[in-house]
Structure 1
Amino acid sequence: MVPFRDTLSQLLKARFPVLYVESSEEQRVVAEVCAVARDANLVRTPRAVWAWSLTTGLVQPDGTTRKGTTDPDDALAAALRVDHPSVLIFKDLHPAHGSGDRPGTPGVIRRLRDVVAAFKAGPVPRTLVLVSPVLHIPVELEKDVTIVDFPLPTETEIRRVLDGMIAANSATGRIRIALDDLGRERLAKAALGLTLHEAENAFARAMVNDGVLDGGDLAVVHEEKRQTVRKSGLLEFVDAPIDLADVGGLENLKRWLAKRDGSWLAEAAAYGLPAPRGVLITGVPGCGKSLTAKAIASAWGLPLLRLDVGRVFAGLVGSSEQNMRTAIRTAEATAPCVLWVDEIEKGFVGGANDSGTSARVFGSFLTWMQEKSRPVFVIATANDFERLPPELLRKGRFDEIFFVDLPTRAERASIWRVHLARRLRNPAVAGALTPDDALLGELAGLSEGYSGAEIEQAVVGGLFDAFAERRPLRRDDLIRALVAMVPLSVTQAERIDAVRSWADARAVAATAAEDWDLGGRPGGSRPGGPGPQRGQGGRAVEF
């Protein structure tokens, strides 16, 4: 709150007549205004604080209510008659004064302009502070009203609430606290972006959920954040019940991500480390790009937000830029978090009647990526490299660009293991089929040139054959499904070669060098027939 207090004290000393604070935390705003107005160290002349609302009328500094002031016009007229140093806080006046497209109560705008003139020229310092959860300023007052930003609670304030709740509830013996100092830091950081009231509700819910407050209660805090994200309507809060272990292969990328776990905490800042900006993952479709985005959020214990660029461009003409700003503010309010932009090359492509809107919105997004200071880790995926603008690829936007190629033999064995383990949990389905090294090695060899998504569909196809005959899954079912499928490496061979050629000089290989097939050039063949050769696209950098 120090920046807000400093700003407010300067405005009061400079005798700004009307200030506007947009915040849903009315009580916090009032408390901060009172703290500044009454402190002689912050304002040269301490000031009495008045408060008005439609239900109470104008409440004087001694706590009594001035009669006949519930009407906004009458309350402003009474404010004009205040003849001593004062700050007058008016709550939710916006319906009365209206905005550019919403008519207000007749006379209120004129009365506000009278307040501006009187408070500017008056012999004693007086300031009117408008507090509202929405920003509505009529055109007539745009030059007279000063907007003051009121930030959401800091980590220190949230930590103070958390520590107070722990102290109050642990003494009763009904709640068990299983959090060390690092756990408390993670919980407080997870609540950043919530109001103090919302954070307190989240912590209370976490405590009564199972009678224990521990690291597992991060999910409860994230659920409270889900409400904030849903209200914005532009971001989607994605459930990600998977881990990096559920992603077959891509060890180079997974090691890079694992080293940055916790890099938004104070411990990393003590090393002089900034929060990571994000990664761009491009490559062959169906090879785990989107799955990795979901897995990293789960592995890091952070909420995963998906930016649907189509929603940004939906709505009224001229609203796209505002929608992007709203989405960015929501993501920053939810930080630390992971922001997932799927197929980014398609989202910002304008049409013939675009009038430059896409370019402006994309420019705003790029500027934010370059300048952002909040720990929002951006994971962008792309399939079509030719449509990636060069300004997106330069250093400073992303920490690294990874290329995901068709899986190697070792990666295919890992992918088969993951999908078979997930599907064969029921003994009636598994039968005598055991995904041992021999079977996985055979399937990995037969599925050369297949993507991870195609391997998953082969497992599903085999299960359908088994289910049709109401019997356990057999090895032959999997092989039959493989043979019946035409992989992307055959239907799009030239396209895949072009993608690899592009990535050789521009991206880092997501696959670790030790997982590459012998010579780095396995044959991309279907079972029973030759196929196109493939190389390992991307620079061979180890993390």
Structure 2
Amino acid sequence: MKFTDELTLLLKARYPIIYINTIEEDRVEYIIRKYIKTSLNRSIYSWDFIDGYTNNPNNEGFAKRNPVQALELVERLTAQTPALFLLKDFNRFLTDVSISRKLKNISRILKLQPKTIIIIGSELNIPKELYDLITVLQFQLPTESEINYELKRLIDSLNIEIDQQVLESLIRACQGLSLERIRRVLSKIIATYKTIDENSIQLLLNEKKQIISQTEILEYWSVNETISKIGGVDNLKDWLKKRKTSFGLQAANYGLPTPRGLLLVGIQGTGKSLTAKAIATEWQLPLLKLDVGKLFGGIIGESESRLRQTIELAETISPCILWIDEIDKAFSNNDSKGDSGTSNRVLATFISWLSEKTKPVFVVATANNVDLLPLEVIRKGRFDEIFFLDLPQKQEREQIFKIHIQEFRPNRWESFDYSKLAQLSESFSGAEIRQSIIEAMYHAFYEKREFTTEDICLALTQLIPLSQLENNQTLKLKNWALSGRIRLASSKSISIN
């Protein structure tokens, strides 16, 4: 139900006190004056602690710095006067016994007369004794259509043309920001670039970063990794490519559900974290990393509260990528017995949100040890897909060597023997391949010369890959992947040694 429809219904039903939880005070008042005053023909009285009542000449400045007196105006008006009382930041006074008692007393009047108190506050804090009197109404941030209207209005006023796909990207970047903040950033964009185009997206994402910096649980990651930097995993790349434009208006009009998320399972160093960063870059969405260690607090109930705050913030910033690294360690079956059930409660909250979320928050979770993952997490419906990232096969190792050497030596990368390097690097992960190149560079730099294929070959013989040190865990992961319960990230066949 739309906000205006819900508010109108509550007013007609004579709910005495309505609490609108929002940071957009001016936008709420504008909407109430535009829609509610017209449809219900009520006088509107607006009060704040500093200026008292405003916008009404008969009561201008009344009840300055006096919240109790602000409530007395309700009793002063005649019973036949339909009125709305907008009390800004009044939530800060609700714990005062005189305010609490006064609200209880005048609630009898409000139920019989066409008068309603509307409290506007950015924080939701209601004393228990007022729970039955106050009805909470959430005022959401601007919708896609409202942002679209605002952007088109500005584009028309500047007399510029903009590509539809760029417009959709701008709309996505604006989601999660208040209308006032959007206007402020757009003014900054025009002052910087003299126009609105694809360069504007980064400034909008930076504005979201300011919001994220206010929390210690979520971290905003600025990334520039691309899918092309990931060697192999062609099945996963194809899956991601088909969903790149699924957050736009065209996808919604087509009736396409928004992608929910991915669980990436595999051996360490196979590119799971890199994939999370690359998705954010390719899809031009902000990347938020959840610090699971900071999620679990010492006070009972605090961890669940922190998770709910994290979810709320991610949904506010949406559309976005929420990256949960090593989820197997966060919700380990082995760690949930001695913490008074905190892990189980947090897990229940998390998987319930995964199944029921409606906001475009794409979750990318990574895991190294499938044995530690609770069955509730890997059950179908939590994530769109579960991919297994295996150690790269010979052809994929050649590609990984090319990617990294081209990064280090863009002018002479073609001079290396990639077939030989791939042959010697069996059982190496992508991260270990990169490390072998760095080792070769250190060796050659010490001898004051350029590194060669032979230097890398020497480094490969000296490095022991993790898969050999944890052979049993590697085999267990591969056997689980071959069982058919998980999708393979690469079309190359898995080898069991």
2:442 is matched with which residue? 464
- 1:66 is displaced (CA, Å) by 4.7
Q: TM-score, normalised by structure 1?
A: 0.87
Q: Tell whether the 8 Å contact from 1:19 to 1:129 is kept in structure 2 after alignment.
A: yes
Aligned length: 492
Report the counterpart of residue 246 of structure 1 in structure 2: 229
Q: CA deviation at 1:67?
A: 3.6
Q: Which runs of 5+ in 2 are unaligned?
A: none
Does the 8 A contact of 1:9 with 1:36 survive in 2?
Answer: no
The answer on whether the counterparts of 1:48 and 1:61 sit within 8 Å (CA) in structure 2 is no
What letter matches 1:79 in structure 2?
V
Greater displacement, 413-422 / 67-76: 67-76
How far residue 294 of structure 1 moved from its aligned partner, in angstroms, is 0.7
1:384 to 347, 352, 369: 369
- Supply the distance in 2 between the matched residues of 1:197 and 1:259 (Cα, whole angstroms): 34
Are the counterparts in 2 of residues 37 and 87 from structure 1 also a CA contact under 8 Å? no
Quick one: structure 1 residues 284 and 178, their matched pair in 2 at CA, closer, same or farther if it must change by over 3 Å? Answer: farther
| Residue segments in structure 1 that go unaligned for 5+ positions in a row | 99-103, 171-176, 428-433, 522-532, 535-543
Which residue of 2 is the match for residue 160 of structure 1? 149
Per-residue CA deviation, residues 59-114 of structure 1 (Å, 9 max, x unaligned), is: 3634751545431112112232222110000001122223xxxxx3x522222222
2:20·2:121 contact (CA, 8 Å) conserved in 1?
yes
Q: What is the alpha-carbon distance in structure 2 between the residues aligned to residue 67 and residue 335 of structure 1? A: 41
Does residue 180 of structure 1 match 2:159? no
Whole-angstrom CA distance in 2 between matches of 1:133 and 1:315:
27
Q: Deviations over 1:173-221 (max 9, x none)?
A: xxxx462123212211221111001111222222333334212322111
Provide the residue aligned with 2:2 in structure 1: 3
- Distance in 2 of aligned mates of 1:273 and 1:34: 36
Match of 1:81 among 56, 59, 76: 76
Residue 453 and residue 372 in structure 1: after superposition, are their counterparts in 2 closer, same or farther (change >3 A)?
same
Within a 5 Å distance, the mapping from 1:112-511 to structure 2 comes to: 112-120=103-111, 122=112, 124-170=113-159, 177=160, 179-314=162-297, 316-349=299-332, 350-425=335-410, 434-436=412-414, 439-505=417-483, 506-511=485-490
Rounded to whole Å, the distance in 1 between the matches of 2:55 and 2:400 is: 71
2:45 maps to 50
> 8 Å contact 2:144–2:175 — kept in the other structure?
yes
Contact 1:232–1:326, Cα closer than 8 Å, also in 2 = no
Shift in CA distance, 60/190, structure 1 to aligned 2, threshold 3 Å? closer
Range with greater deviation from structure 2 (228-237 or 256-265): 228-237
**1:468 CA drift (Å):** 2.4
- More deviation, 79-88/342-351: 342-351
Query: Residues 270, 11 of structure 1: CA spacing in aligned structure 2 closer, same or farther, 3 A cutoff?
Result: closer
CA contact under 8 A between 1:179 and 1:215: conserved in structure 2? no
Please report how far the alpha carbon of residue 163 of structure 1 lies from its aligned counterpart in structure 2 after TM superposition.
1.6
TM-score under structure 2 length normalisation: 0.94
Q: Which amino acid aligns with 1:25?
A: E
Check whether the contact 2:221–2:287 (CA below 8 A) recurs between aligned residues: yes
| SS at 1:213 equivalent | coil
- CA deviation after TM superposition for structure 1 residue 272, in Å: 2.7
Secondary structure at 1:302 match in 2: coil
Higher relative contact order (CA 8 A, sep 6+): 2
Deviation at 1:470, TM superposition (A): 3.2
Distance in 2 between residues matched to 1:383 and 1:152, nearest whole Å: 37
Asked if the contact 1:178–1:212 (Cα under 8 Å) also holds between the matched residues in 2, the reply is no
Match of 2:88 among 88, 91, 97: 91
Q: CA deviation at 1:232?
A: 3.4
Instruction: Find the aligned partners of 1:167 and 1:398 in 2 and give their Cα distance.
Output: 41
Q: C-alpha distance in 2, partners of 1:154/1:423? A: 45
